[in-house]
Chain A
Amino acid sequence: MVDPVLSAVREYCLLAWMWIRSSMVYRTSFVTMAVGQFLITMLDFLAILVMFSNVEVLGGFGLGQVAFLYGVSGFCLGAADLLVGNVERLGRRIRDGSLDAMLIRPVPTLIQVCADEFQLRRVGRLAQACMVLGLGSTTAGIDWSPGDAGLLALTLLSGTAIFCSVFIVFASFQFITQDASEVANAFTYGGNTLTQYPLTIFPKEIIKAVTFIIPLAFVNWYPCLHILGRPDPLDLPGWTQFVSPLVATVSAAVTGCVWRLGIRNYRSTGS
């Protein structure tokens, strides 16, 4: 069970590394693009700062705490975008036949689709999220304990996995139709935008939707509630704040099934 996963990870890393080396040939271009991405994503956080120049709290959360939520969510989306962002090109690959070229190779198709054209410059966005996370960690009034730090690390991993799942599941719809690919954005970037804010600003229905239907709330909200020491607006049992890794694992399993179903459908119907 572990062996194919490990070999898949190895193959992914080897391919991604090839692309990194290839892009390093144009080093100045890479640096400018990465820095550009960093600055540009800073504009996004600027909006939050502008909001807080007008108010003290949003949904009961102060700037530091919102920055913390924003940082975790941004990190997870940024990491997911870096690792599997290319999966949204699936439709294009089907159209131009490059998916077929991948099917005849001895590497799992999902790995190829994600690693192909790996763009290290996306790390610029990730760096911005780290910076905001750092800012939030120090100004949110958190009484840091080793347990909190461990929970944060685990959350960053789990959240990334959850976002990766969302990316891949919605991209899988392109096996059936390539025209409606924009719907994915509503859940990936929309999901990120939603989780940037404390969920207390949303009505209970929406919080339930992102808890039970598409588990985006487990990317940052529930674990952060624990770290920030804030009460849960839905009053769910305390262990909800620790199950992000479990949610991530289940999401990954579901994603694997959906993807395999998509490939099987493609191979059964032709394009």
Chain B
Amino acid sequence: MSEAIVDVDELSRTFVVHRRVGATRRRRRTEVKAVRNLSFRIQRGEMVGYIGPNGAGKSTTIKMLTGILVPTSGRLRVAGVNPSTDRLRLARQIGVVFGQRTTLWWDLPLRDSFALLRRIYDISTDRYRHNLGTLTELLDLTDLLDVPVRQLSLGQRMRGDIAAALLHDPKILYLDEPTIGLDIVSKARLREFLRRINSAQDVTVLLTTHDLVDIEQLCKRVMVIDSGRLVYDGSLNDLQSVGGASRTLVVDLAEPTEPLRVEGADVTRVDGPRQWLRFPADASAAPLVADIAARYALADLSIHEPAIEDVITRLYEHERPSRA
């Protein structure tokens, strides 16, 4: 059995929070268990999705995997190294993209940021030239190299961050909410890029996201974390069938009508001319739309993807009783 590139065993992280409680404003020390007994393994070359509601512990997990945060208990090995004790050695093997913050230098042109990183990671001239060329082409950065990072749009900056994370040929790439705030076109291009580097260059990818479509498009395997616990680790298809998730079709009719009667969908809410219809996530919306459009005057419609919270709630409903 080959050694997993990420090996996590009973990983836990507790935070001590001081809150001022009550009328007397005394400081009370509470312990927040951000991550509880997390265990999983990731093999070389996998692309794994890591999802969960806000505050579930996704960012905390990434911080521990990268060595920024030290676990409270448990065993952790990444690329054969313990991130808590060998952070500097691990650093060469990993690349990280923080969704909301940039790792680039704000006031410098993109080119200078890359040059600095070259020094920091001690990348050979040939390797650097090759990687920079490939990455700028694949991520469409050629025209942006001389632009200061602060003047880049969110999507451009994200691409810059990804290039920065891959410049030194890391074995593992962590992406913390990379598609947040991007428009649809940018998201699609980003996903295409990730697919390519995962298959062509064997880069192991761990992707945390709030967007289930990211997972759908990219990851065969998904881990779901909720309140610090890993509640699911398997394929996305199974997740959706276990979760029994449904999507919502929101239709704006030309005028307020009685709740629609449509095969394959239930009306969950009516508000004037707007109606919310729930239908199974794995079913196509097309027949529904055609059916409604044929029988009613439609002004507008939109489809809402299942919220992660829904998926997880459903997950718990299917939980075995032995799980406490």
Contact = CB atoms under 8 A, between A and B. Distances in A.
Interface in B119-148: 119-122
B119 A97 contact: no
A141 to B, nearest CB: 48
B16 A106 contact: no
A270 B66 CA distance: 13
B193 interface: no
B316 interface: no
B88 A106 contact: yes
B20 to A, nearest CB: 17
A267 interface: yes
A214 interface: no
Interface in B74-115: 84, 87-89, 91-92, 94, 96, 98, 101-103, 108, 112, 115
A97 B101 contact: yes
A105 B63 contact: no
18 contacts: A11-B119, A11-B120, A15-B116, A18-B112, A18-B116, A18-B119, A22-B112, A100-B63, A101-B98, A101-B101, A101-B103, A104-B66, A104-B103, A105-B121, A106-B88, A106-B91, A270-B15, A270-B63
A105 B91 CA distance: 5
Contacts of B60: 270
A14 B119 contact: yes
Interface of B: 15-16, 60, 63, 66-70, 84, 87-89, 91-92, 94, 96, 98, 101-103, 108, 112, 115-116, 119-122
Contacts of B101: 96-98, 100-101
Interface of B is mostly: mixed
Nearest to A268: B70
Interface in A76-122: 96-98, 100-101, 103-108, 112
Nearest to B84: A267
A218 to B, nearest CB: 33
A143 B316 CA distance: 86
Contact of B91 (A14, A104, A269): A104
Interface of A: 11, 14-15, 18, 22, 96-98, 100-101, 103-108, 112, 264, 267-270
Contact of B120 (A15, A100, A267, A270): A15
Given A100-B68, A106-B91, 20 more contacts: A11-B119, A14-B119, A15-B116, A18-B115, A18-B116, A22-B112, A98-B101, A100-B63, A100-B98, A103-B66, A103-B68, A104-B66, A104-B94, A105-B120, A106-B120, A107-B120, A267-B84, A268-B70, A269-B15, A270-B63
B67 A104 contact: yes
Nearest to B108: A22
B88 A97 contact: no
A264 B70 CA distance: 9
B116 to A, nearest CB: 5
Residue of A108, A267, A269 with most chain B CB atoms under a 10 A cut-off: A267
Contacts of B119: 11, 14-15, 18
A103 B108 contact: no
A97 B62 CA distance: 14
Contacts of A104: 66-68, 91, 94, 96, 103
A270 B69 contact: yes
B230 to A, nearest CB: 20
Nearest to A7: B122
A195 to B, nearest CB: 35
